[in-house]
Structure formats: structure tokens, C-alpha cells
Structure 1
Amino acid sequence: MNSHDESPTPAGELALQTMAMPADTNASGDIFGGWLVSQMDMACSVVAAKVAKGRIATVSIEKMSFMVPVKVGAVVTCYCTVASIGKSSMEISVEVWASYPSRDVTHKVTEGTFIFVAIDNTGRTRAI
């Protein structure tokens, strides 16, 4: 996203879309950061499994940034980009956008980088 862009748009492919529900909030009505991280991990896992053509495991999360809170009722959308592929691991970047259809508002709420490794059926690292 260009910081000078008047109407920023998501980068990457649509990997997951869901709605933020009341059960996922803190006492102030904001969605828990942990819930957002789990959505991001699921979205990145979809992309990583395609790249690996099989089973994968999350190894680490890097460069997390929360920009604005997400409110109940927001449509939360994760967009992923394959940043790099190694022999058995890959780095997936994810942007999370929240839209509020009743208010015609959409904005980027968080981003991060997730590292995955391809694993075989016994749980051992394998080549991609």
C-alpha cells in the first residue's frame, strides 16, 4: 500500500473472510487481538498449504502491527502474499481489512508475516 494513496487497497489474494462476533470481544467491545491473530494464521495456512502441496506448520509470527481496533459486526478479510519460498519453509505476508457495510467504511486494521514449514505425515520437515 502506498502511504500517499488516497484510496488504499489490499495487497495479495483473498484467503479468508469472516464476521467479528460478540463472543470475540473484550469488555470495551473491541475484538481481541488474539482472535485476529488466529484468523491471520488460518488465512496464511490456506496459502502455505497450496504452496507446499500438503501439510504445513506455523513456525513463527513476525512483524505484527495493530493499527486500529475492530468492532463487533465488522467483516474481517485477510489478504495474503507469498513473500519468499525456501527449501522447506515459506514466508507469507498478510493484511487484514475490516469493513462496516452499514457505514460504508473499510480500512486496514493489522498486518503481519507468518513463517511456515512443510511437513510430512510423521511431522518431520520436508522439501516443498
Structure 2
Amino acid sequence: MPMPKEENVFGDIFGGWVMAHVDLAGGLEAMRHSRGRVATVAVNAFQFHQPISSGDLVSFYAEVVNLGRTSMTVAVQVFAERHPSNPVFVKVTEATLTYVALDADGNKRDVPRENA
């Protein structure tokens, strides 16, 4: 849940806050899939559909949508739950990011295939 310190003068949450959390969600999915360290190598697409307001409950859903030898593309969808007394769920953002799997020394490594 974003807090008031994350909002601009209009009461909307900063896009950078959303982007950082999208990268966290996507990176966690990539780490889970590759079973180890990953790094973000590209933000392929990022669309803001509606603003997020302070007080919205925000959920991030990530899924690997393309798998390469050492990299993977992750789609992240972001939903806001508004009006707790009469909840409304709204898709506010969607993005695709590419992550590369890294070994302990920071070199590219193959992504395990049994998760595919």
C-alpha cells in the first residue's frame, strides 16, 4: 500500500514508485524461475492506465512469458483495490521486462529448462 510520502501534489502515486515495485515483482518471478540471481536488462513496455492514489491497496502479478537460454521476459500486471467499503478492482499498470540469469560472479548462466 503506497503511503502519502509517495504521492505528488495531486494525490497520485509517483510513477517511479510504481516502476520500482514492478521491477521487484518481475525480478522475484525471474529469480524463482531461474533459481538464483538475476539482473534487469530491459524494460520492454510500460503502460500506466490509471493513477494510483494513496490508500489504494496495490497488487502486482508477474509471470514469465518468454524464455531464452540465459534470459527471460516477465509480464507484470498491477491492480488497485479502491473504496474498502465497496471494493472496486482496477488494472492500473502493465509492463514487460527482461531479466538475465547470473552466476555468483555476475556472469550470464543458463536458465534451468525444467521450469519451462
Using the aligned pairs only, state the percent identity: 40
Aligned pair partner of 1:117 in 88, 95, 100: 100
Pairwise CA RMSD: 0.9
Unaligned runs of 5+ residues in structure 1 are 1-18
Correspondence for 2:114: none
Q: Which runs of 5+ in 2 are unaligned?
A: 112-116
Structure 1 counterpart of 2:110? 127
TM-score between the two structures when normalised by the length of structure 1? 0.83
| Equivalences, count | 110
CA distance in 2: counterparts of 1:49 and 1:23, whole angstroms = 29
Counterpart Cα distance in 2 of 1:102 and 1:32: 25
Q: Which of the residues 49, 52, 57 maps onto 2:34?
A: 52
Local SS of the residue matching 2:19:
helix
> 1:98-127 CA distances to partner (integer Å, 9 max, x unpaired)?
002234111000100010000011111111
Partner of 1:23: 5
Deviates more, 1:99-108 or 1:57-66: 99-108
- With the length of structure 2 as denominator, give the TM-score of the two structures: 0.91
